[in-house]
Structure 1
Amino acid sequence: MSSDIQRRTPPCMTITREDAALVGDLLTSSRSEETKRSYSSAIRTFAVWCADRNYPVHPTTPDVVAAYIAHRASLVSHSTISRDVAAIAAAHLDAGLEDPTSHHGVRQALRSAGRTLGTAPSRRAAPVTTEAMRRIIEAMDDLDTVVGKRDRAILLLGLAAAQRRSEVAQLSTKDLTRLDAGLLLRIRRSKTDQSGKGEVIGIPLGGHPETCPVLAVEDWLEASRRRIGAQGPLFSRIFNRATIARTPISDRSIARIIQLRASAAGITGEEYSQVFGAQSWVSGHSLRAGHATSAAEAGLSPMSIARTTRHKRLDSLARYVRPTSAVEDSTAGKIGL
């Protein structure tokens, strides 16, 4: 693993610098903003560790990466180490360098870390279920303000459509279609749909006016003087609790809204830590987790749930469904004990 990594021989330039810049911009946009932030943080941490030991950073060598894996194994989870390795690989490949993480020794070190640490997540998003959402809405004492109306619409629409925080932030008024029975919501891009094929989710009218996502969205649209089909973001920042900006709200702001509103209702998610076998708290992913959990509690089949949550793999969905229905689904009660 000590052999030096050589820079790939660059091909002869056959296109103009302007076209090359366009290609570079296109390749840069291949990763989500969240992935870019995560990779950037990982590389900074790796660079500091290398600097302390006078190791090469860029390009680096497989033995350096393996040593870094061994170092990180005593500090962080296996999923974080895997993220670190992916960031190192991306940084090298993007610069036209050989990928040091593809070496057999590096992959072996990563697998060994997995056996030592276990690959189960060390933390999980606590689900904000329908019951929890009722408590959150009841605790909101500002529903007559634009902030309250916006936050209620974010919470209820995010739960009803099983959305990730980034999906809520990206919504435009053009993504909505009003029908007699409710709303059609177009998800233009998501974590599992990076190419932007898009998917449509149906949001029916709720059975309770105070928690109806359709009525909440309409209330927000009226307060913000926006209309379905017009150009512009669905949800925006609000300054001084009164001035509605035209710029879209960020995904991090969505996460903060979920956390603050849940906390105000006394919902922390800590009660799920024992169920999940991992530290659990309310996060930006809690609305999506809450939809899956609430649907499982209602007895809906995993296939039916996946059509709304848009899970491509049922084993991913099972992380939410199994803890909820473990007793009911168990065959132990059917073997005559």
Structure 2
Amino acid sequence: MTPPRQHPPVASVGPPSGLAQETEVPAAIMTRVQDYLGDLRGARARKTLLALANGVRLFRAWCEVHGHPWLPTTADALRGFIAHIGDQPFRRRTIAGKIIETGPVAAASLRQYLWAVGVLHRAAELPDPTKSGRVALAVDAFERAHRVRQKQAPALTRAISDTILAGIEASIAEAQSDDAPVSVYDLRDQALILTWRDTMARVSEVVALRWEDIQPNPLDQSGSIEIRRSKTDQRGEGHMRFLSARTMAALAAWRTAHERIISDASPKQQQAIAAAHREPDALPADSAVFIGVHRAGITPLSTTAAVQKLNERAVDAGVLRRFSGHSIRVGTAQDLIAGGQEIAAIAQAGGWKDVKMVLRYGERLLTDRSAVARAEAERSDLS
């Protein structure tokens, strides 16, 4: 086992390690928390709520093991929590039936845990211990001892996606030449990857697309689609994204297969689709652009399934790399930077609030266009 790293000392306070009895939280506090969380569910995205639950669950488990109160907690307890995470080799441990991630975690993850604790205290209308100056110093010490830089998702560039798409298109062409039925999964995955690439969308945005939001452009056979809601657009103002003529053609072919799947659905599956139409925030399968057919029925494609299909198609094409839901977004941004597109235009096309992440994705490419690189090139031309 890798020995723990040595870090700048952060005082460990409170009772010694050991299983402590859970402190009873007054009913009035829990009532305020539950009321606040009820309001929060309608105002925040599901992933935000999951991050909040995960952070609270992790901190509460740590407090119970180390004998600290978790609600309300103290600045000293938070400092001990930060020090404990920083001093552990990376592993997950089960303590008292609870899974505790013992680090080292990324600085962004630590800040997310502290954010969750802060939200919990504000929900309970209690002083927020995460705002303590000594907690801020503990975070600074953690960041000095660890790399603050977040790991970037592997880039899936256009060259790689073209290789993947070539394999799918070859399978479609072979079926057509043999007068055999074309695989609906080939049609879906072709449309999925092309749409993902054109829109530079996050995976959560891709699987939430609806047929009704596609607008064709009859002049050049291209089109556009609306991203109704995104990580940076929680209020749902919407953002239009471009679709190439090639993507529109792939979507048209997939839509024919999609409609056939829905029309051939069993009565039970049809009932489930009809029930989804009655739910205000649900995405019915007949409205979703990308769907999956499985034992549970016909449902919109999940984010996990979309990434899984992408990786399966990559392996089929001989691309032996593991991609994430962000890989196409990163790769397309890099392609556009390499092609000389303006950073601000790339940020607008991909739905970033500012250019910071675009610059991060393309920083290695941009070094060749830096002032120093251009000056050196000019000197070389003169010599």
Tell me which interval the TM-score lies in, with the shorter structure as reference length.
0.7 to 0.9
Aligned 1:59-98 pairs, distance under 5 A: 59-74=72-87, 75-98=104-127
Residue equivalent to 2:90: none
Distance 2:206 2:370 in 1: 33
Distance 2:214 2:237 in 1: 17
Identity %: 26
Deviations 1:135-187 (A, max 9, x none): 11223375421122112211110111100001011111111111223111101
Q: How many aligned residue pairs are there?
A: 303
Distance 1:126 1:191 in 2: 20
1:284 aligns with 2:284: no
Q: What is the DSSP-based 3-state SS (H/G/I as helix, E as strand, rest coil) of the residue aligned with 1:125? A: coil
Residue equivalent to 2:190: 152
Deviations 1:297-332 (A, max 9, x none): 222121221221122211211012222232244533
Aligned pair in 2 of structure 1 residues 48, 35: CA closer, same or farther (>3 Å)?
same
Aligned 1:14-33 pairs, distance under 5 A: 25-33=38-46
Contact 1:164 1:284 in 2 (8 A): yes
Distance 2:51 2:300 in 1: 22
Aligned pair in 2 of structure 1 residues 173, 80: CA closer, same or farther (>3 Å)?
same
Task: Give the counterpart letter for 1:204 in structure 2.
Answer: S
Q: What is the DSSP-based 3-state SS (H/G/I as helix, E as strand, rest coil) of the residue aligned with 2:127? A: coil
CA RMSD, Structure 1 to Structure 2 (Å) = 3.0
Distance 1:332 1:128 in 2: 26
Distance 1:296 1:86 in 2: 34
Which has the bigger relative contact order, CA under 8 A and spacing at least 6? 1
Residue equivalent to 1:294: 335
1:134 aligns with 2:172: no
1:218 aligns with 2:252: yes
Contact 2:37 2:123 in 1 (8 A): no
Distance 1:282 1:330 in 2: 33
Distance 1:154 1:58 in 2: 45
Task: Give the counterpart letter for 1:195 in structure 2.
Answer: R
Q: Decide which structure has the larger Cα Rg and report it.
A: 2
Task: Give the counterpart letter for 2:67 in structure 1.
Answer: N
Q: What is the DSSP-based 3-state SS (H/G/I as helix, E as strand, rest coil) of the residue aligned with 1:82? A: helix
Residue equivalent to 1:173: 211
Task: Give the counterpart letter for 1:253 in structure 2.
Answer: A
Give unmatched runs, 5+ long, in structure 2: 1-10, 14-24, 88-103, 173-181, 263-284
Contact 1:171 1:187 in 2 (8 A): yes
Q: What is the DSSP-based 3-state SS (H/G/I as helix, E as strand, rest coil) of the residue aligned with 1:225? A: helix
Aligned 1:110-129 pairs, distance under 5 A: 110-121=139-150, 123-129=151-157
Task: Report the Cα offset of residue 231 of structure 1.
Answer: 6.7
Q: What is the DSSP-based 3-state SS (H/G/I as helix, E as strand, rest coil) of the residue aligned with 2:373? A: helix
Aligned pair in 2 of structure 1 residues 57, 259: CA closer, same or farther (>3 Å)?
farther
TM-score scaled by length of structure 1: 0.80
Distance 1:329 1:260 in 2: 38
Task: Give the counterpart letter for 1:299 in structure 2.
Answer: G
Distance 2:315 2:371 in 1: 34
1:36 aligns with 2:49: yes
Aligned pair in 2 of structure 1 residues 88, 266: CA closer, same or farther (>3 Å)?
farther
Residue equivalent to 1:253: 305
Distance 2:125 2:186 in 1: 49
Residue equivalent to 1:46: 59
Distance 2:336 2:227 in 1: 20
Contact 1:256 1:284 in 2 (8 A): no
1:201 aligns with 2:214: no
Q: What is the DSSP-based 3-state SS (H/G/I as helix, E as strand, rest coil) of the residue aligned with 1:92? A: helix
Give unmatched runs, 5+ long, in structure 1: 14-19, 206-211, 270-280
Task: Report the Cα offset of residue 194 of structure 1.
Answer: 0.9
Aligned pair in 2 of structure 1 residues 196, 217: CA closer, same or farther (>3 Å)?
same
Deviations 1:83-141 (A, max 9, x none): 111121122223333322111111221122112213101x2211111100011122337
